[in-house]
Structure 1
Amino acid sequence: MAKKRAFYIMTIPAMLLFFLFQTYPTLQGIFYSFTNWKGYGDWNFVGFDNFLRFFRDDRTQHAYLFTFGYSILSTILVNIISLVVALGLNAKVKFQKTLRGIYFLPNILSVLIIGFIFGFIFSYVLPEIGASLNIGILQKNILGNPDLAWIGIVVVAVWQAVAFNTILYLAGLQTIPTELYEAAKIDGASSWKEFWKITFPLISPFFTINVVVAMREFLMAFDHIVALTNGGPGTTTESISLLIYRGAFQDGDFAYQSANAVIYLIAIVFISVVQIYFLQKREVEL
């Protein structure tokens, strides 16, 4: 009875808080997506009008295309870089623990502060370097270029995300028995074969976690974009999250953006489920 009482004391408050701050707002948003509410005043039911409007809204479609492209590219880059860094840190090198701490630092820094620092770098430092070295592409602030602004966002987001993913890969690498590598060396296996036949198959669960988590985080991009470009120039780097925030709280289009958020939620859940299904299936094959 004492254990049951302790269980209920710990779980019930947590469930209530989760329902209050997560489930209830979600249900409320779904409800308002079928209305014409502006965030204040009276409202009426409009059925699926908001959802039909979604398919006619060029700005929303551009935000989805930008967010998906940015998320896919960033997820690929993060996992490649973090895996390479983890393999390097897992090797027997001097100051191994110190290097691990340094590489993890970006993960604990504020996203907005990092964005403002890199914004200064892109605006003033790189143009100065480009002018002194006569490199044309660096002489102008890329964040002000509609065709290149996304590059700055990807660079900053990937730089910060690599820290967390590297730690996960390091945890996976430490679970691999060293006897397997010793046996592979005796058999004359090359470094590439060791990686492809031993390392990668055994850390595939960690690869699955990193891909799913990274993709989800990038799909919800907000802070980096606000700090670096605020969705500009124009709306070229406007993510879905930023569009929903602006439309609902600045433009008073609360009901439509609630419908947009519902579609956004379904898209994230669908992508995550598909990723988990195929990546776990690949784990079994490996």
Structure 2
Amino acid sequence: MSTSTPTNKTVGQSDQRISAKRKIKRNKVLTYAAFVGPALLFFLVIQIIPFFMGIYYSFTSWNGVSSAVEWVGLDNYKRIFTNDQRFFDSFWFTTRFMFAAVIISNLIGFSLALLLNAALKTRNILRTVFFIPNVIGGLLLGFIWQFIFVRGFAAVGELTNIGFFQLPWLGDATTAFWGIVIVFAWQISGYMMVIYIAALQGVDTSLLEAAKIDGANAWQTLRRIIIPLILPAFTICFFLTIAMAFKIFDLNLSLTGGGPFNSTQSVAINIYQEAFTNNNYGVGSAKAIIFFVVVAIFTTVQVMITKNKEVEA
């Protein structure tokens, strides 16, 4: 009897410790669920479930209104690839726009970051000024710039006779294309600037001082030291601008509406018109799935290439 009592007490203490550990683990799980659960629920409801519903509707002939949903298999995709030249025209416009917008936006954003990373007294004010266009909604921004292109530039052109301001900015396919690029770059460059500034502030100043002592000029320092060290920022900015440029909708809609003669119609506007104007929700969903695959390929390839450059650097 005397030997069994300590054993029972030890077993009891061990059970209590196991129970306490389980309680702590359960509390951690509940804490994580309380923080992550609502976000995960909203993500499922707003993103994942509609995405899979879109995949399903892309194989149907649903008009978006009727309760009758007819399964048509791959007919929608066949129709797109064989009898929808406007969709591919909009894809060509969006791809050209993406390349131009990504290059210009990042050049401007990086240049502003280099400028405002210097010891300027007004740099905080200038950062705010350059970032403000990013907080303006695309629809409002489009209408503002539409007035500038149509009325403002025309008035300046009449006063100065400068050819640049006398161009039919939104009335010609070429100038309308560059007009959208200009407005997009003006809106998004401030956002890219903030990311580049954060990366530049993480560069070790001792490296820059050592390069200066060794006789490196400003261009050599930028090319050989600064850019390799902030390549992760380029990866992020390229990814964001590619995705934003591909998905352009509100700015394009309010600025040109896809005109003139659908020459500046983005893929997003084409999908919107197909689904909600023509009431071909099944075809519109199929176009959206194709669009998703193309954007995913572009962004994945871009991230892979820039990540490899980071490793090499």
Q: Is the 8 A contact 2:168 2:175 kept in 1?
A: no
Deviations 1:59-115 (A, max 9, x none): 000010000110111000011111111000011222121111111111112222211
Aligned to 2:19: none
**Aligned-pair RMSD on alpha carbons?**
1.2
Cα distance in structure 2, aligned partners of 1:161 and 1:46: 41
Q: Quick one: which of 15, 29, 32 aligns to 1:4?
A: 29
* Cα separation, 1, equivalents of 2:228 and 2:214: 19
**Residue type of the alignment partner of 1:196:** R
In 2, Cα distance between equivalents of 1:225 and 1:13: 34
Q: Distance in 1 between matches of 2:245 and 2:166?
A: 29
- Name the residue aligned to 1:31: 56
Q: Structure 2 matches for 1:45-60, cutoff 5 A?
A: 45-56=71-82, 57-60=84-87
> What TM-score, normalized to structure 1?
0.97
Shift of 1:137: 4.7
* Structure 1: 5+ residue stretches without partners: none
Once the two structures are superposed, what CA deviation does each residue of 1:144-188 show, in whole Å capped at 9, x if it has no partner? 222321111111000010010000000000000111111011100
Structure 1 residue 46: Cα displacement? 1.4
Contact 1:32/1:255 (8 A) holds in 2 = yes
Q: 1:140 Cα deviation (Å)?
A: 4.6
**Aligned AA (1:262):** I
- The code of the aligned residue for 1:263 comes to I
What is the match of residue 189 of structure 1? Answer: 216
Counterpart in the other structure of 1:17: 42
- Name the % identity: 37
Q: List 4+ stretches of structure 1 deviating above 3 A.
A: none
The 2-side partners of 1:114 and 1:260 are apart by 27
Larger mean CA deviation between 35-44 and 207-216 belongs to 35-44
Could you tell me which amino acid in structure 1 is paired with residue 81 of structure 2?
Answer: F
Distance 2:127 2:260 in 1: 37
What residue is the counterpart of 1:123 in the other structure?
150
Q: Which has the larger radius of gyration?
A: 2
8 Å CA contact 1:37, 1:255 repeated in 2: yes
2:173 aligned with 1:146: yes
- Kept in 1: contact 2:258–2:266 (CA 8 A): yes
Q: How does 1:114-263 map to 2 (within 5 A)?
A: 114-263=141-290
- Cα offsets for 1:23-82 (capped at 9, x unmatched): 111111100111111112223221111111121211000010000110111000011111
